[in-house]
Structure formats: structure tokens, C-alpha cells
């Protein structure tokens, strides 16, 4: 009986490890995913190399949500941006004043680095088509986003997930302050 004890302990240990790996795989496949931030377009909210936890399947997004976008673009990489307007809403930007308007109302954007003065090739006002969103980076004057034809409106089918919080750096989870 004593001879089987080490084998039994090894089997129990292996069983616990395998069960843990399977549980983590299920959680990160069906409920949550991670994504890395690349670049400075979301400063001051997010920084280059931040690691984010995102929802695995995001169907509905609203103004203010930070999303990961996999829509093909000129940069050939996923983008991290904030939803500014959804289908049917009209966007206009006063680049002299640096103010973004949605449906004629100026947005209160305490999350941006500075006012919006970089125009890209945006000619407003524009209405967001059905099944799409208009996104912008929080670092407005250093972000390629829906103001540019290189990105344009985002088809909601290409929204990989909504950011829930920041995993790394540790201690700075809340990105929606």
C-alpha cells in the first residue's frame, strides 16, 4: 500500500493542474480575453504596453466604451479606441474650438489628453451608418481613428471586445474613472 502513495499523490497533483488549465481555458475562451495596448493614441487613459481584460463577446456598445477593433485597416493591427457615436447618430467636430458634437450636443470629455484640433480627413457633419460606430482615441491629436479614411466607421462585427479593466500595470484596474 505504501508504494502506491507517491503515485497517488502525483496523480492527484496532475489532476489538479489539468483541471486548472481547462478551467482557465474555458473562462478565457467564453467569458474574458486579454489584449495589449500598442502606441499612445489612448493616453492618458491607457498607455503603451498596458494589458487589458476584455469581454469575449461584445454585441452592444455605447458612448464611452473602450473597445478592441479587429476591422482590417491600414495599420494591420487591432486598434484600441473609445466609442463616440453609434448607428444613426450625427458627429460634427469644431476643430478651431476643439469640441466634438454628437447630435448637436457638445461632449463632456474629461478623459481626453487635450482638445480635438487634428482633423485628419474628416469632413462633418456625418451620420454613423447602421451596424457601425464612430471611434476616437483619447489622445486626439495623436490618434488615427474614425476621423481618418485609413480607419473610418467601425463595423460592429469587428469589435473584438469591450475593455473591462487593466490587468497590467497592477493596481490601476479602473479605466473608466
Only one residue has cell 476584455, namely 54
Catalytic residue (choose from 81, 143, 144, 146): 81
Q: Where are the alpha helices (DSSP H) in the chain?
A: 4-30
Establish whether 41 is a catalytic residue. Answer: yes
> Is 81 part of the annotated catalytic residue set?
yes
Q: Which has the closest alpha carbon to 55: 75, 76, 36, 27?
A: 27
Beginning with the edge strand found earlier in the chain, give each strand of the sheet holding 154-155 in spatial order.
Answer: 32-36, 51-55, 159-168, 66-69, 79-86, 132-136, 154-155
Annotated catalytic residue within 41, 143, 144, 146: 41
Q: State the catalytic residues.
A: 41, 81
Amino acid at each position: 500500500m505504501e508504494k502506491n502513495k507517491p503515485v497517488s499523490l502525483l496523480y492527484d497533483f496532475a489532476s489538479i493542474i489539468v483541471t486548472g488549465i481547462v478551467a482557465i481555458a474555458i473562462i478565457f475562451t467564453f467569458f474574458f480575453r486579454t489584449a495589449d495596448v500598442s502606441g499612445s493614441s489612448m493616453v492618458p487613459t491607457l498607455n503603451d504596453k498596458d494589458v487589458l481584460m476584455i469581454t469575449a463577446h461584445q454585441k452592444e456598445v455605447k458612448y464611452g466604451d473602450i473597445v478592441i477593433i479587429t476591422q482590417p485597416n491600414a495599420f494591420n493591427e487591432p486598434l484600441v479606441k473609445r466609442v463616440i457615436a453609434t448607428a444613426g447618430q450625427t458627429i460634427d467636430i469644431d476643430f478651431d474650438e476643439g469640441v466634438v458634437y454628437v447630435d448637436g450636443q457638445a461632449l463632456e470629455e474629461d478623459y481626453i489628453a487635450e482638445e480635438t484640433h487634428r482633423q485628419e480627413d474628416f469632413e462633418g457633419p456625418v451620420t454613423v451608418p447602421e451596424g457601425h460606430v464612430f471611434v476616437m482615441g483619447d489622445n486626439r491629436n495623436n490618434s488615427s481613428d474614425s476621423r481618418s479614411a485609413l480607419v473610418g466607421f467601425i463595423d460592429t462585427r469587428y469589435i473584438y471586445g469591450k475593455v473591462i479593466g487593466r490587468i497590467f500595470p497592477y493596481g490601476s484596474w479602473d479605466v473608466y474613472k
